[in-house]
Amino acid sequence: MTHASPVAGTANPATGTSPHIGLGPRPEWGFRAPRPPAPIEPFDLCHPSVPPELEGLRILHLSDSHIERLYPRPAHHHRLLDALSRTQADLIFLTGDFMTSPGDEPAALIALDELSHAWRTRFGAFAVRGNHDTARFIEGAQQIPGLRWLSHESVKIPIDLGRGICALRVVGSGFPESLLESIGPPDDSFALALVHYPSEIFAAAELRIPIVLSGHTHGGQVRTHASWLPHTSCDLPGNLASGVFRLRDTVLCISRGLGAAVLPFRVNCPAQAPLYSLRRRAFGSPTCEVLAPIYRW
């Protein structure tokens, strides 16, 4: 198979590089094979406006576990529990779809409670709802200690990594999602948004939110080619539905997620829990008016 020459402002498929940030962690067109402790995958997450006080902040992103009553302890859940016991994060963010269908709530709540006892975080854990999460599940999940659910609101988290206290503003979209309703009054705090649908990138770019974490697509879940996602359940085309992207001055991170839905398996698309380290780094190009990949996974 041959590939067209990269469009200006997109990653180079031959080298894995991007004009927006630089060298990607893996070849652009290679199938992903997470290294231990899978499914956790470490990445540098770069943006030129990251405050020096937040340099190196470690953010663990969990999404789309899809726990079901018929399979209350899927393999990815056991692997994640083991990986969490060996991973230190500063913050943990969950971006929805912890369950699949009505009736799955008890199994999903037990699994989420197990994760909350396994993860290690310095500054807390925060979550938003996905389209599969029922009101009954959210009501139960709100009782889990140490996990705060955000719905159409933003919170400021004081972060101290030893270089002075800096406030990180976390914007949590509700469901149905509305970042405009969630962001609150503007201020000078560095902001990061939690959404379920990656199509919220367009609102986030208008609102000038630096970083957005999302899920929902499962990275396609079934792939015949590393970068061809025949179905993503969202409005983004397959080649823009898994990875890290830029639109104007907003960076969007779309996790492949942890579980499976509709089809009870994954093909060439392993489960993923990205572990981001914030880095202050200039964009490689001054403008980016279309959604373009920094790197895919």
User: How much is the pTM?
Assistant: 0.88
Q: pLDDT at position 185, please?
A: 81
What are the structural domains of the chain?
40-296 (3.60.21)
Q: pLDDT at position 32, please?
A: 55
Low-confidence ranges of the chain (pLDDT < 50): 1-30
H, E, C per residue of the chain: CCCCCCCCCCCCCCCCECCCCCECCCCCCCCCCCCCCCCEEEEEEEECCCCHHHCCCEEEEECCCCEECCECCCHHHHHHHHHHCCCCECEEEECCCCECCCCCHHHHHHHHHHHHHHCCECCCEEECCCCCCCHHHHHHHCCCCCEEECCCEEEEEEEECCCCEEEEEEEECCCCCCHHHHCCCCCCCEEEEECCCHHHHHHHHHCCCCEEEECCCHHHCECCECCECCCCCCCCCHHHCCEEEEECCEEEEECCCCCCCCCCCCECCCCCEEEEEEEECCCCCCCCCCCEEEEEC
Q: pLDDT at position 232, please?
A: 87
Q: pLDDT at position 56, please?
A: 97
Q: pLDDT at position 149, please?
A: 97
Q: pLDDT at position 94, please?
A: 98
Q: pLDDT at position 223, please?
A: 85
Q: pLDDT at position 4, please?
A: 33
Distance, CA of 160 to CA of 166 (rounded, Å) = 6
For residue range 173-230, what is the model confidence (pLDDT) as tens digits? 988 888 888 888 878 899 999 999 999 999 999 999 999 999 999 988 988 776 677 8
Q: pLDDT at position 36, please?
A: 67
Distance, CA of 259 to CA of 97 (rounded, Å) = 9
